[in-house]
Structure 1
């Protein structure tokens, strides 16, 4: 009888451990699954598109011109076309530069037998860097050459305004309006000629 009691008592002590082990095996007390913390999101600052007009450039222009003089008809006008080349230096907000350009024209006064053949200019340019746009002021010295009844040339001054838009780092387009004054043209006293030109321009930057 005593061995039976001892076996029964051992079974009573073993039963709770067996139950606990079964519950643990069934996952009731399984270890929690660790969830990795999300990676920190670092904001990416937008990269500003900086404009830089510095460099050599060259291109062509096409437009309209008109002459005004007491010796000419009021409708002395026609097309102008030519080429230009220059250099700009971007200082940040201010853009400085110089340019040479040459225009040919078909402006002619048939009654007075005077034709404006060419206009050559040496320019100074002062612009404002507005990113892709650059409004500017320009002025300098111009020389006009005529043929016909007045076969010669004259030197004068000019001033005007322009605007350029940069399509890419190497290509830009724009427009320009210039007012010219030639006094005593071809050394003829009292022969004063004013000329206005308006052109569209295409330039390639190097």
Structure 2
């Protein structure tokens, strides 16, 4: 891109480029040069908007975590409709079919990124801890509606579902699991607490 040409929504353009690289080639391929090349802009553009590359990556991770808000609202809004197992299956498939698994690998891969994220996100990997909160909120809504037993430990079920879901989807070299495989795992985890007809 020639110098002096304004770039619209530069942060989003850079974040989208980072996501494409991360999904295509993994965390080791994610460099400032690769991102700016993918975004079609000069390398200096990234450094005008971010203190350094780890600041860019931290902003990218948190931006992608913020995108879970719409999914969270949709999942909690689905409480009382469909089945609990199907709702959770769809939520896990959507979450882990996105960039979430790659972000977990990225955060694990880069020590400086983890340290920077700890300043604002004190525990866990941001995308996973946020996903646990989403599942917890959904299961709590279903418990309030009586479709999940009143004594269900949603604070235990939510991380169990996220951890198991992550393990199902984590193999970047293989095709994602079939929906039925995800559904079987979900059904097994929540079988003891369902009160649906």
Normalised to the residue count of structure 2, the TM-score between the two structures is 0.24
For the pair shown, the structure with the greater C-alpha radius of gyration is 1
Higher strand share: 1
Higher helix share: 2
